[in-house]
Structure 1
């Protein structure tokens, strides 16, 4: 059995370091697509306003923070989206400056995709995403990485 990549934000504080395999000399942080089963980054993309805007749309569509208590997954993809400068969120249920977003997608699971937001201070927030993000992934040329 493949060891879950994301055991828990609280028990494995170095979890995000596993995603940090892009060129450290790049001027802007890259968007990364991580395969959980293979435990490796499949591809990187230049970060753009389209990624930032999509994160904003997902946050605006959410009505509250998720009740998820576990972030474990055995399969699927994680899309890391750095947000520089941090994205200021001022919702009734969330006031924070978000510096990174991680989109969790698992086509083998019936669970909705979810978004892990990390504040500038390192505090995690989780949102369930009601819509399937395949259209956005297709626009960005990333849909082919999502295996069923």
Structure 2
């Protein structure tokens, strides 16, 4: 009986361990017009590296009144491990980011600070979307999503 209890506790610890959960986090692709997640895929080191590039390319605050477009795609990426985002607008440790690919516009990012405040940032216009498209297995064309 004690052996079974110990074995159960070990298995439960492994299943609910934060490192195991982090590896199981999914990248979600949300279609804005449809209002639902149309694809999810495991987060990979390539996606994490690309997400870091997007965060480092922040070059301004997104200033449109309504930051969510009527059409396009939002890609939610859990950041494993959380990344330090530090620029003239924000200093935080982000554990998740969203890349918004509006139909007919350039992509931009949404992140939360430590207090769950939402921030929208523009990114460098030369940033290529083809790598992210390839990693996610979807079509993302800058300015034509």
The answer, yes or no, to whether TM exceeds 0.5 is: yes
C-alpha distance in 1 between matches for 2:135 and 2:116: 27
Structure 1 stretches of 4+ moved >3 Å: 144-148
Which structure is higher in strand share?
Answer: 2
Check 1:144–1:59 CA distance in 2 against 1; reply closer, same or farther (3 A cut). closer
- Given the alignment of the two structures, is residue 122 of structure 1 paired with residue 122 of structure 2, yes or no? no
SS of corresponding position for 1:78: strand
Residue 50 of structure 2 is matched in structure 1 by 54
Which structure is higher in helix share?
Answer: 2
The alignment's C-alpha RMSD in Å is 2.4
Structure with max Cα Rg: 2
**TM-score, normalised with respect to structure 1:** 0.68
Residue 37 of structure 1 is matched in structure 2 by 33
Residue 144 of structure 1 is matched in structure 2 by 139
Residue 97 of structure 1 is matched in structure 2 by 93
SS of corresponding position for 1:74: coil
C-alpha distance in 2 between matches for 1:132 and 1:92: 20
**TM-score, normalised with respect to structure 2:** 0.70
Q: Is the 8 A contact 2:133 2:140 kept in 1?
A: no
Q: Is the 8 A contact 1:104 1:113 kept in 2?
A: yes
Q: Which runs of 5+ in 1 are unaligned?
A: 1-25
| TM superposition shift of 1:83 | 1.4
Q: Which runs of 5+ in 2 are unaligned?
A: 1-19
Residue 13 of structure 1 is matched in structure 2 by none
Check 1:99–1:66 CA distance in 2 against 1; reply closer, same or farther (3 A cut). same
| TM superposition shift of 1:47 | 1.0
Give a deviation string over 1:20-62, Cα, whole Å, max 9, x none. xxxxxx8232100011111111111111222222222122222
State how many pairs are aligned.
Answer: 121
Residue 80 of structure 1 is matched in structure 2 by 76
